[in-house]
Amino acid sequence: MGAEGELQDVLILGAGAAGLWCAEVAARGGREVAVLEKVTRTGTKVLASGGTRCNITTTLGPEEAARLFGAKGERFLRAGFRNLPPAEVRERFEGWGVPTEVAPLEKIFPSSGNAKDVRDALESAARAAGATIHLEAGARSIESDGDLWTVRTGDDRVWRSRTLVLAVGGKSYPKTGTTGDGYPWLEALGLEVVTPVPALVPLTSQEAWVHELTGIAWQGGEARLERPDGRILERRRRPLMFTHRGLSGPAAMDLSHHVARDSATSGGLSVKVDFFPELDRERLRAALVDAAGLPGAPRLQRALGSLETGPMPRRLFDAVAASASLPSDVAVNGLDRRMRHALVEAMKGLSVPVRGTVGWDHAEVTAGGLALREVNPRTMAVNRCPGLFVVGELLDLNGPIGGLSFQAAFATAQLAGEALAKSGRGSLD
């Protein structure tokens, strides 16, 4: 069983998060599964994930989690997330001996804080269920004669199966082994592939004043990504960080797929930062008027420290004041009506022009991939290609930071594994 050249029952390409999960489910369901992995170990990206702590899923319920993938993604993932809700992913890992715990931003991590425990659990579970894993067996090509799939690996070995699952991931972080191998295979089969772009990646800005704010983080704000015509592409109320290249932190990274796609075409996007989303303009104006009565006419930046959101770092306030054309040392009683209006507008929407992303080498995921309409959302079977299944990041799905990428990888892999188990050996076509 599992030797090259022989007819395989189920062949899975890629021993990452989705490939290992699918292997476990299909093998436990009675299929003979061979997994071919390109690099020398399984789950390289799992090991690198979450700052090597691996944020395996989210505390959100299935509906709420699916909604975070946008309208198309939500429609596609609804069945999968109901079938394998985030809470069940957590239970599955607990059952494999990996206790988990909750962290801020609805994240779930292994309690050990060690991504290796997650990778080891996935690999052990797949092997225990009976799957065979072949390392350093990177697929070079796939083809079908309408009945059998033939896969050629790097050293000219040939593998055949009626059932082929593509779980080779995207093309972000290429040093981990995921170099976008799946896209040309899918295109050669005549399938629609949405152009892959880097996502969950920091943004670049050309503005020197932005770079000067390096190291400043703002927790309670809302970032909205705007087109030059004022159209808002998306809003995220999450932490934001200024860096020597532009913007980072969950808010900026969540918006990055729009930036990557747009900067390849029109450009001219800006992130508008509302530092006080909980306070409307009236409340802020009132706070400034109240502050004008403070004794000793302190600097405005210090006076604003009384707002419920806490003080704004001096360098950041100076940038906000400059964007409102105010001198940074303006005193609380030195604001006239026009200045107050300008300052409120700057605090509710500091404009940070963004140019692009820092690119594939630093992107956590790939947005784009196999168009969802090519795939049955209940089984992950590719509609026009009998015996072919696609799972995980190779699909045109992308969600925000917070364990959603693994949740999507596991849920799509679960559906494919169940479909394979149900259809039984050799009967898929």
Binding residues (CB under 6 A) for ligand FAD: these are: 13-19, 36-39, 44-46, 48-50, 54-55, 138-139, 167-169, 172-173, 177-178, 181, 364-365, 392-393, 403-406, 409
Closest approach, Cβ 87 to ligand FAD, in A, equals 15
> For 292-342, what is the HEC assignment?
HCCCCCCEHHHHHHHCCCCCCCHHHHHHHHHHCCCCCCCEHHHCCHHHHHH
Give the residue at shortest CB distance from ligand FAD.
Answer: 16
- Give the phi and the psi of residue 195 in degrees, each rounded to 5: -50, 120
Closest approach, Cβ 311 to ligand FAD, in A, equals 31
Q: Which residues contact 308 (CB under 8 A, 6 or more apart)?
A: 278, 279
Closest approach, Cβ 49 to ligand FAD, in A, equals 3
Closest approach, Cβ 17 to ligand FAD, in A, equals 4
Quote the CA–CA distance of 302 and 217 in Å, as a whole number: 18
Identify which of residues 323 and 407 has a Cβ nearer to ligand FAD in the complex. 407
Closest approach, Cβ 207 to ligand FAD, in A, equals 27
Closest approach, Cβ 326 to ligand FAD, in A, equals 40
Identify which of residues 54 and 164 has a Cβ nearer to ligand FAD in the complex. 54
268 neighbors 233 (Cβ within 8 angstroms): no
Identify which of residues 317 and 369 has a Cβ nearer to ligand FAD in the complex. 369
Quote the CA–CA distance of 207 and 176 in Å, as a whole number: 32
Identify which of residues 48 and 217 has a Cβ nearer to ligand FAD in the complex. 48
- Give the phi and the psi of residue 133 in degrees, each rounded to 5: -115, 125
Identify which of residues 288 and 409 has a Cβ nearer to ligand FAD in the complex. 409
Identify which of residues 39 and 322 has a Cβ nearer to ligand FAD in the complex. 39
Identify which of residues 312 and 380 has a Cβ nearer to ligand FAD in the complex. 380
How large is the C-alpha radius of gyration of the chain? 25
285 neighbors 273 (Cβ within 8 angstroms): no
Quote the CA–CA distance of 356 and 202 in Å, as a whole number: 9
Closest CA to 399 of 428, 373, 365, 357: 365
Q: Which amino acid is at 216?
A: I
Identify which of residues 45 and 245 has a Cβ nearer to ligand FAD in the complex. 45
Residue with tokens 């107050």: 340
- Give the phi and the psi of residue 166 in degrees, each rounded to 5: -95, 115
DSSP structure class, residue 191: -
Closest approach, Cβ 382 to ligand FAD, in A, equals 15
Closest approach, Cβ 173 to ligand FAD, in A, equals 4
Identify which of residues 54 and 332 has a Cβ nearer to ligand FAD in the complex. 54
The Cβ of residue 396 has, within 10 Å, a number of other Cβ atoms equal to 23
Q: What share of the chain is helix, strand, coil (3-state, %, to 5)?
A: 40, 25, 40
Closest approach, Cβ 359 to ligand FAD, in A, equals 13
DSSP structure class, residue 166: E
